[in-house]
């Protein structure tokens, strides 16, 4: 049994024996990392620079892309470093910081997606009251709550993990997550286990319920509307719906991998399930909104055209 005071580094065994694939994975990863930064930066630049896009929907899209960059840097930097290492590892402090960053990223994502669903609900179901309901001050307050609430909750969560004495240093993943560290404890982890379920419930269930409620209302209103209004509502909601389903499925995979014994599954599938939620949303979200949102696409190409002429 290891002494807690000597465990300063965790070995990440999820990488397995990459062999000659190491350089291929690294090249693909750094390419994805650069693409993510480029496409997210384009969306942020267009929304920030064009005052006509300073509306709730686009502010939420901008927040979503900023969160994508936050989650990307929390995961990719150490992941790429370990791909080049023959002994993938992470310091205990680095592990706790990564846990906090990746977990808050996930919570921010759900919260922002829920706010976007609420915005679409107000826009479609109460169009005449939209400007009164979605005032800049309210949008700011909602975003501040969406960010500060998870930070406070996960600060407590991390403090409960820090206090645990550890008797192991092997984490069967390619990054650090809270439950993997908690399971290495030498003492009873009932409190951490209960609080973990509590955190997952209060941070995931309300956003999901708000999103479902918003879409139920949107569908009920759209059914009674004209064909043109239904088409407009579908085009408006489709990018968000794709994003929400994509992230929900990815998060579901991670929860299954984290909380249940997935060792019967192939190693590569387990790795994919554990990183899907942080690997694809930051790449797909700006692509979905850049392609599907006509205003952003039109303004972006207008900027490029002006720059080309100049």
Among 122-131, 232-241, 255-264, name the most confident range: 122-131
Q: Is the pLDDT score of 307 beyond 60?
A: no
pLDDT category of residue 261 using cuts at 50, 70 and 90 = low
Q: What is the pLDDT of residues 84-102, one digit of tens each?
A: 888 889 999 999 999 999 9
Whole-number pLDDT of residue 8 = 84
| pLDDT value of position 281 | 87
User: Structurally, how many domains does the chain consist of?
Assistant: 1
CATH code at 34? 1.20.1070.10
The answer to whether residue 304 scores a pLDDT higher than 60 is: no
Positive/negative CA dihedral, 186, 192, 197, 200: negative
Domain that residue 121 falls in: 4-309
pLDDT in tens, 193-235: 889 888 888 988 999 999 999 999 988 888 877 777 777 777 7
Alpha-carbon dihedral sign for residues 291, 292, 296, 299: positive
Spell out the long-range contacts of 16-23 with Cβ–Cβ below 8 A and sequence spacing 24 or more: 16/267, 18/83, 22/83, 22/84
Answer for the pair 165, 185: CB distance below 8 angstroms, yes or no.
Answer: yes
């Amino acid at each position: 049994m290891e002494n807690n005071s000597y465990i300063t580094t965790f070995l990440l065994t999820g990488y397995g024996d990459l062999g000659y694939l190491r350089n291929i994975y690294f090249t693909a990863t750094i390419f994805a990392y650069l693409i993510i930064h480029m496409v997210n930066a384009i969306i942020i630049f267009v929304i920030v620079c064009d005052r006509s896009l300073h509306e709730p929907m686009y502010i939420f899209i901008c927040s979503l892309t900023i969160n994508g960059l936050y989650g990307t840097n929390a995961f990719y930097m150490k992941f790429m470093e370990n791909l080049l290492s023959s002994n993938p590892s992470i310091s205990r402090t680095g592990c706790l910081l990564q846990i906090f960053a990746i977990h808050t990223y996930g919570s921010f994502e759900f919260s922002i997606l829920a706010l976007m669903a609420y915005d679409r609900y107000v826009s479609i179901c109460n169009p005449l009251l939209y400007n009164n309901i979605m005032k800049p001050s309210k949008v700011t307050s909602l975003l501040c709550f969406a960010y500060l609430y998870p930070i406070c909750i996960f600060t407590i969560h991390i403090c409960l993990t820090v206090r645990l004495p550890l008797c192991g240093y092997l984490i069967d993943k390619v990054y650090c997550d809270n439950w993997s560290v908690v399971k290495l404890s030498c003492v009873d982890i009932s409190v951490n286990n209960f609080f973990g379920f509590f955190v997952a419930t209060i941070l995931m269930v309300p956003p999901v319920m708000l999103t479902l409620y918003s879409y139920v209302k949107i569908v009920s209103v759209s059914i009674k509307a004209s064909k043109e209004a239904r088409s407009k509502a579908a085009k408006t909601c489709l990018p968000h719906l794709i994003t929400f389903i994509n992230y929900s499925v990815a998060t579901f995979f991670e929860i299954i991998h984290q909380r249940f014994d997935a060792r019967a599954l192939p190693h590569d599938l387990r790795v994919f399930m554990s990183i899907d939620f942080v690997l694809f949303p930051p790449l797909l979200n700006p692509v979905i909104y850049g392609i599907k949102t006509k205003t952003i696409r039109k303004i972006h190409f207008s900027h490029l055209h002006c720059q080309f002429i100049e």
